[in-house]
Structure 1
Amino acid sequence: MVLLGSIFDMFCIMECCSNHWIKNDINGKNFVAKHIVESLYREGYKSKYVRLYVVSRDFMHHDTVHISQYKDHLTEDIEKIASKCPQATFVFDEIDQMPKQLLDVILYYIDFHTPTASRSTDYRKTIFIFLSNTGAKSINNLAEKNYRSSIRRENFNILEFQQALSNASSNEEGGLQSASLIDRHLVTFFVPFLPLKREHIRVCINQQLAIILEHDEYEYEVSVDDIINNVINLIEFTRASSSSLEYSLSGCKKVQQKLHYIFETMQPTLKKTKKKLYDSDDLL
C-alpha cells in the first residue's frame, strides 16, 4: 500500500507515533488522585492496598451477566483489601459512566454500618475517590460569572463551586444521577477543578519545557518564548459566551505531546551539541 500525495498525513502520523512512546505525565484530577495515593502509600498505585478502576476499561459491558460478575468482583476486592488494611484506597475514574448497580455495591461500604460478627471490617477509614467530568459546564459558567464581576480567581467562593458540582452530580445524566450517593449526603468533599486560561497553560508549558531542556542533548536557535507561543497555537481554546474569557478545552492534558511535536518540527534548525544513540532489537 502506498500513501500518495499526503505528505502532511504521513508527517503527522510519524510524529504521533513518536510522541506516543514518550512517557506522559498525568495531570488534573488524575494527578491529584495519584498524589494522594503516593502520599499515603510508599508504593503508590502499586500498593496492594490501592485499587484504580477505570469504568470504560474495567466495567465496559453493561449486560446482566457482566454486571453480575462485576458486582461479585468489586465486592470481593473491597472486602478482601479493606479487611487487611482499613485505610485502603479505591479510586474510580469516569464514575459518571458507572452502572447504578455497581454504584450500589460501593454504597454499602461508604454508608455507615456498625461492624458485625459476619462483616467485622470497619470501613469508616476506607477512602473512596470518584473522578468525573460531571459539572464541568456548571463550573465554567460560575467561573465566567465571577470573571464578569471582577472577582479574582484566588477569591472565588469554594462553597459555591462545591454546591454547583453537587447539583450537577444530581441532575446531569450519568451514574451519579441515579445513585443515592448524593441524596444521602455520602460524599464528604466535592473538589471542583477550575478551567484553565491561557496564562495557566503558558505556565504549564514553561514547566514542561524546563524539564525537557534540562535533559535535552541539543541547543535550539529559537527562543523559549517562541517555543511556548508555538505550543499555545496548537492548544484548542473555547471562548466564554459573553466575555473575552478563554479556557483550554483539554486543560494541560495535551501540552507534553504538543511540545514534543514542536521540537520535532524544529529539528531542521537545531544546533547539535552531542548525541547518544539507543539501539533496540524491538524498534526499527
Structure 2
Amino acid sequence: MECCSKYWIKNDIKELDLRLKNQLIGQPLAYNLVLRSISSHVSNSNPSKSLVLSLHGGTGTGKNFVAKHIVESLYREGYKSKYVRLYVVSRDFMHTDTAHISQYKDRLTKDIEEITSACQQATFVFDEIDQMPSQLLDVILYYIDFHTPTSSRPIDFRKTIFIFLSNTGGTSIIKLAEKNHLLSIKRENYNILEFQQVLSNAAFNEQGGLQSASLIDRHLITFFVPFLPLERIHIRGCIKRQLQIILDTDEYQYDLSEDDIINHVLNLIEFTSSSLEYSVSGCKKIQQKLDYIFESLQPTFKKSKKQIEDSDDLL
C-alpha cells in the first residue's frame, strides 16, 4: 500500500519518546501512557480495534502539544499529511441545526472511510470533543468499535488512531492530584488507574458531548489520559524552554539575566490560591507574556556574527 511506505509513514516511536521526554513538562502519567499505547498499537500487525486516546486536563497542560508530537512522529508531513485529519469542534461543527448536523455526519463518514481506505494507519484528532453533538459521536462510534472487515464493509479500521482532546474532568484531576500531594506521593508514582476511573466517570456524567455517550459505557475508549495541573516549578520550566528559543535566535543581548526575565514572566502568571499553587492557564500564555516583557526591554548591544553563529550551532 502506497501510503504505508516509508515515504508517508514514519512510525518513529524513538522520535516520539525523545520529543515527549525532552519537551513535555510535568506530565509523567501522560508521557508513559501515550508512549506505550502508541508504540504497542503501531507495532501490532493485527490489532483488535482502533486505538482511542481521550486526553483530559485543564488549559495549557499539554494536550494539543502531545497530539501534535504524536502526529509529527508518525507522519512525515505531520498535520499536513493527507492521512491525518484535525477537527476543532467549535470551528468545524459549530452549527447544531438539523440541516448542518446532516452535512457534518456525511462529511465525517466520507472523511474517515476515504482516508482509511487509502491508508489503514490513519489518524483522526478531535479537539474540544466535549462540545461535539451526540449525533456526530454516534458516527464515530462504528469506526472505533470491534469490527473486522466484511464483504459489505471491506474497509479495515482497526489500525486507525482516534485522539480526543477535552477539558472535561479537569476539576476531578486537580482534586485527585491535591489528595496525592497531601499524601506526599510524587507525580511519577500517582496511580494511573485512579485517574482513569475519575476521568471515565467525569466524561460520562459532566455536561458536554461525551455525557452518557455510548463510546464510554461500551468501553470503546482505550485509555483516558490525565494531564495534571502544573505547579510553579513546571511553569518556570516552560518559560525557560521558550526563553531559550528566543535568545538563541535573537540578534540582541539584554541587561536582564535569564533568571530575571523568567521571574518577571512568573509574576505575570495567575496561580490558584490553594495551599498547592497551580497555574490557572498552564503554559498557554507564556509566549504572550514573554513578548510583553521583551517589548519593555532595551537591548544593550547587537550580537557579533560569531556569537550568532555559535548560538545557531546550539540549535
Normalising by the smaller structure, the TM-score range is 0.7 to 0.9
Aligned partners of 1:100 and 1:178 also within 8 Å: no
Identical amino acids, percent of aligned pairs = 78
Q: Is the 8 A contact 1:198 1:248 kept in 2?
A: yes
Distance 2:132 2:99 in 1: 16
Aligned ranges for residues 128-139 of structure 1 at < 5 Å? Answer: 128-139=162-173
Give the corresponding residue for 1:94: 128
Amino acid at match of 2:118: K
CA distance in 2, matches of 1:68, 1:195: 38
Name the amino acid aligned to 1:207: R
After the TM superposition, which residues 236-247 of structure 1 pair with which residues of structure 2 at under 5 Å, given as runs?
236-240=270-274, 244-247=275-278
Q: Which segments of 5 or more consecutive residues in structure 1 lack a partner in the other structure?
A: 1-25, 276-284
1:114 to 148, 159, 184: 148
- 1:131 and 1:239 mapped to 2: Cα distance? 27
> Offset of 1:237 from its aligned partner?
0.8
CA distance in 2, matches of 1:262, 1:34: 28
Match among 113, 131, 134 for residue 79 of structure 1: 113
Instruction: State how far apart, in whole Å, the 2-side matches of 1:40 and 1:266 are.
Output: 40
- Cα deviation for residue 132 of structure 1 reads 0.4
Alignment match, 2:294: 263
Alignment partners' CA distance in 2, 1:239 and 1:156: 23
Q: What displacement does 1:239 show?
A: 2.5
In the alignment, which of 224, 240, 245 is matched to residue 206 of structure 1?
Answer: 240
Alpha-carbon RMSD across the aligned residues, in angstroms, is 1.5
For residues 110 and 57 of structure 1, what CA distance do their matches in structure 2 show?
Answer: 23
Match of 1:151 in 2: 185
Q: 2:253·2:303 contact (CA, 8 Å) conserved in 1?
A: no
Alpha-carbon distance between aligned partners in 1 of 2:212 and 2:134, rounded to the nearest angstrom: 6
In 2, Cα distance between equivalents of 1:214 and 1:27: 25
Counterpart CA distance in 2 for 1:163 and 1:272 is 56
* CA drift at 1:178: 3.2
Moved more, 249-258 or 69-78: 249-258
Q: What's the secondary structure of 1:176's corresponding residue?
A: coil
**Partner Cα distance (1:272, 1:163) in 2:** 56
**SS at the partner of 1:247?**
coil
CA distance in 1, matches of 2:213, 2:191: 27
Q: Which amino acid aligns with 1:215?
A: T
TM-score by length of 2: 0.76
Q: Show the 5 A alignment for 1:16-35.
A: 28-35=62-69
Question: Normalization by structure 1: what TM-score?
Answer: 0.84
Code of the residue aligned with 1:208 in structure 2: it is: Q
The one-letter code sitting in structure 2 at the alignment partner of 1:206 is K
Where does residue 301 of structure 2 map in the other structure? 272
Measure the CA separation in 2 of the matches of 1:66 and 1:95: 17
Count of aligned pairs between the two proteins = 246
Match of 1:161 in 2: 195
Q: Distance in 2 between matches of 1:274 and 1:195?
A: 38
Question: For residue 254 of structure 2, what is the aligned residue in structure 1?
Answer: 220
In the alignment, the residues of structure 2 paired with residue 73 and residue 207 of structure 1 have an alpha-carbon distance, to the nearest angstrom, of 40
Cα shift at 1:27? 7.0
DSSP-derived class of the 2:216 partner:
coil
Quote the offset at 1:215 in angstroms: 1.0
What is the CA–CA distance in structure 1 between the aligned matches of 2:118 and 2:74, rounded to whole Å? 16
Residue identity matched to 1:273: K
Q: Which is higher, the Rg of structure 1 or of structure 2?
A: 1
Aligned to 1:254: 285
Task: Report if the CA contact (8 A) 2:199-2:224 is conserved.
Answer: yes
- In the alignment, structure 2 segments of 5+ residues that lack a partner are 1-59, 305-315
Relative contact order (C-alpha < 8 Å, sep 6+): which is higher?
Answer: 2
Aligned letter for 1:272? F
Q: Match for residue 14 of structure 1? A: none
Structure 1 position 153, deviation (Å)? 1.6
1:137, CA displacement in angstroms?
Answer: 0.2
Residues 217 and 274, structure 1, Cα contact 8 Å, conserved in 2: yes
Specify the SS of the correspondent of 1:177: coil
Query: Displaced runs of 4+ in structure 1, greater than 6 A?
Result: none
